Structure 1
């Protein structure tokens, strides 16, 4: 009886030792050979201060290279173990703890534009199977890893009879060489993030252009004289001949250095070539009356009369000094009429001139528009006085000047008061090197009226004035 009991005790001891050894071995095996399951949460910086949680799934934004680089950078910085599938370079990369460990060539992907196109996004491995049978394609997919619904990473598929599929075969999965798929299969665990990226296959060079008016002038500027808001501009800082726009400065200097109440005796040298000859040597004309043919008929005779009265060299010097004082630093005058090709300026400088005339010499504008009604000076006694300013008679036209020479082609500086947002705004429109100055100004004026009905501030104010 005692002997039987001892045998039973020894048997239990043996069974206990065996249970301990088997259990320990199983624990060791589980620790060292278990499948690692990953569970990451990602937060991607947004335009706001707080980062937004990056959810798994299709992300079309990952076709944007900048956004893709930001997402990949976050994964690397956070020392994430993940797979990157670059469908543009056709390379799949495995990162362990944020460091690139291995790269493999992608052999096939979903056809772009098809319903089985491989979608860009951030996914994760949800299942793994060493040899998955696809009910969709009726093929075996060795070393398959599901990352999104019916989309897998796998080796080269083959039919149940063992024949491999054609190289063009694809159901949208990412196909690798079978040996590469096997190695990646061994590296990646369930839950491993999969970052799928594909940029546009070709650069899109299409550009939208804000519709601007057709203008023949090589240089132009249209801007508000009060707040410097620029509506239109082109080559506004290029120095070019300006022709008879010069006479606006001629008029300013004459008003400052010639007594307009005095008469000027016309001499032979004042009878310059001009579009409408009007004077005769020996006659006397009041200086004030000379402003009318100067500004309306663009009379070179009137310009010469003013210059010779002061002294031609001194008068030209005063014109250049006047320009400099107005901030017209890229302007040069060589005569009072503007006939010389060396009379040059920029559309931006002429804007400064228009600003000064509008604010301080409005009589010049009134005369040029044919609207002078003065109390101090009477209207001129000239008969049949023409007005070469094309916009004379336009109710919005305040005044300005035109010009034309072979070197300058057609030029124009016109000031309008336009109803913009229920307020009258003074707008200068300057065109240089034009083939159709009136058409150019008209096109720009109508464009402004159609597109800028109200000014709310914060616009383009790049005109630089002192």
Structure 2
């Protein structure tokens, strides 16, 4: 009994002594495991951050490489023969002009020694009627605002009061080409001022108002225009309105030369058509007009009469009476391309007249098929 009690006591004492050591051992083995887990977690996080940074750097690098590649590719393309950068303005200027009536008739295939861009031309000595240059001069073509020369001729020969005040109405609005006019509905000007800006600046509403205020109105005025054309021997000419906005107004270069000679007899037409600028007051505001032909302001030119014209069917047109090298010359250019081509044609003819014998070209130029 005493032995068993002593055994129990010894057993308890041994367990008490062993337990703390076991706890310490357990703690020692668990603590390193816990620390290792945190370390792994931090390492994983660090790797992720590193991977993210590396990925970002790689992306930026790829972008730079792509940009370089694109730049290199563009440079290589630009070095290829035939490649050319074209600006916006160059593309718009390269758009071809619409085909005119002369183009559709094949007149653009005609070649002349002066290489004029106008499809129909007549250069004539005003005093002798000698034809110095003839290019498709007998073909009837739309004449655009050259029409206004006949409009002015009919107005003046009707002996109407030039001081009478005419009013612009809705009847004068352009319904053919939808062109703009600075003369508002209700504008009032004298017949003289209407004629002035119609001849000098091709003011369409002014020209139409002149026709409407003719005795019998527009129908009678147009009939008078055609009657005057017949009287002048303009057999290829027809008028349908006083402005020239309709392509139904047609004439030949040969006929228009006759019109220029007839219109030149009127000092008012000579003065109005060659005036460089003019101001009118049709209402509350003063309107300043400029001549549609820049040559009238050029001191190198001696122009006695002129008129310009343009609609898409007619191309650029110009008629002039000018004194060149002491000789009075009538010049007609129809169906030209480009804003300044008709003026360039006039300059070429002038240089030719000043530097050669015009009689050499006093014969029709035969079309050569291109």
Q: In which range does the TM-score fall when normalised by the shorter chain?
A: 0.5 to 0.7
Q: What is the CA–CA distance in structure 2 between the aligned matches of 1:270 and 1:404, rounded to whole Å? A: 19
Q: Which stretches in structure 1 are left out of the alignment for 5+ residues? A: 1-209, 373-377
Alignment correspondent of 2:336: 434
> Kindly tell me: are residues 276 and 366 of structure 1, through their superposed partners in 2, closer, same or farther at Cα, counting changes over 3 Å?
farther
1:319 deviates by: 0.4
**TM-score for both structures, normalised by structure 1:** 0.48
The 5 Å alignment of 1:44-59 reads none
Larger proportion of strand: 1
Alignment correspondent of 1:261: 163
> Kindly tell me: are residues 211 and 276 of structure 1, through their superposed partners in 2, closer, same or farther at Cα, counting changes over 3 Å?
closer
Alignment correspondent of 1:240: 141
The higher relative CO (CA closer than 8 Å, separation ≥ 6) is in 2
Alignment correspondent of 1:317: 223
Q: What is the CA–CA distance in structure 2 between the aligned matches of 1:223 and 1:281, rounded to whole Å? A: 42
Q: What is the CA–CA distance in structure 2 between the aligned matches of 1:307 and 1:214, rounded to whole Å? A: 39
CA offsets 1:205-248 (integer angstroms, 9 cap, x no match): xxxxx982110111100111110122211111111111110010
SS in 1 for 2:263: helix
SS in 2 for 1:404: strand
1:276 deviates by: 5.6
Alignment correspondent of 2:211: 307
Alignment correspondent of 1:281: 185
Partners of 1:246 and 1:343 within 8 A in 2: yes
CA offsets 1:74-110 (integer angstroms, 9 cap, x no match): xxxxxxxxxxxxxxxxxxxxxxxxxxxxxxxxxxxxx
2:312 aligned with 1:406: yes
- 4+ aligned runs moved over 4 Å, structure 1: 273-276, 378-382, 458-462
Larger proportion of helix: 2
Alignment correspondent of 1:443: 348
1:362 deviates by: 3.0
Alignment correspondent of 1:198: none
2:118 aligned with 1:214: no
CA offsets 1:29-66 (integer angstroms, 9 cap, x no match): xxxxxxxxxxxxxxxxxxxxxxxxxxxxxxxxxxxxxx
1:296 deviates by: 1.4
Alignment correspondent of 2:81: none
SS in 2 for 1:392: helix
> Kindly tell me: are residues 323 and 269 of structure 1, through their superposed partners in 2, closer, same or farther at Cα, counting changes over 3 Å?
same
1:266 deviates by: 1.9
Aligned residues: 240
1:274 deviates by: 7.2
SS in 2 for 1:385: strand
Q: What is the CA–CA distance in structure 2 between the aligned matches of 1:224 and 1:337, rounded to whole Å? A: 28
Q: What is the CA–CA distance in structure 2 between the aligned matches of 1:253 and 1:379, rounded to whole Å? A: 24
1:461 deviates by: 8.6
Q: Which stretches in structure 2 are left out of the alignment for 5+ residues? A: 1-110, 365-370
Partners of 1:221 and 1:234 within 8 A in 2: yes
Partners of 2:229 and 2:237 within 8 A in 1: yes
Q: What is the CA–CA distance in structure 2 between the aligned matches of 1:431 and 1:230, rounded to whole Å? A: 14
**TM-score for both structures, normalised by structure 2:** 0.60
Please give the root-mean-square deviation of Cα atoms over the aligned residues, in Å: 2.6
> Kindly tell me: are residues 316 and 211 of structure 1, through their superposed partners in 2, closer, same or farther at Cα, counting changes over 3 Å?
closer
SS in 1 for 2:328: strand
Partner of residue 172 from structure 2, selected from 247, 261, 270: 270
User: In terms of Rg, which structure is larger?
Assistant: 2
Partners of 1:243 and 1:343 within 8 A in 2: yes
1:407 deviates by: 0.9
CA offsets 1:157-193 (integer angstroms, 9 cap, x no match): xxxxxxxxxxxxxxxxxxxxxxxxxxxxxxxxxxxxx
2:331 aligned with 1:416: no
SS in 2 for 1:388: coil
